[in-house]
Amino acid sequence: MPRIIVLPHADLCPEGAVIDDAPAGQSICETLLAHDIEIEHACEMSCACTTCHVIVREGGDSLAEADELEEDMLDKAWGLEPQSRLSCQALVTDQDLVVEIPRYTINLAREHH
């Protein structure tokens, strides 16, 4: 099984994390949540927000291309980079990944309260 290396994030995983058993076909978001990395996913993984935005630092070429809906949502993400993906849409394949969770997200649900 491929491995996902999560770079340190001050709030979600200060030490970083290594997930050795990331199931192919599962989204990066689902995999992180299954390993107690509480990445935000305000739209319940329906590609309707940007709170699960990640930057795939290594292995991104193994992921399917982002579709038009994901690209449109990513345009609204804080700290967008060429390797940015919505983790709910990026499905793990057979390649190892190195993932960075951005320091900030744009969480519309929180902003409107």
- List the domain range (segments joined by +) for residue 50: 4-111
End-to-end Cα separation, the chain, in angstroms: 41
Number of domains in the chain: 1
pLDDT at 16 over 50: yes
For 17-70, the pLDDT digits (tens) are 999 999 999 999 999 999 999 999 999 999 999 999 999 999 999 999 999 999
Please report, for the domain that includes residue 57, its CATH number: 3.10.20.30
- Residue 113: per-residue pLDDT: 37
Averaged pLDDT of the chain: 92
| Cα–Cα nearest to 106, from 34, 45, 68, 53 | 53
pTM for the predicted model, two decimal places = 0.92
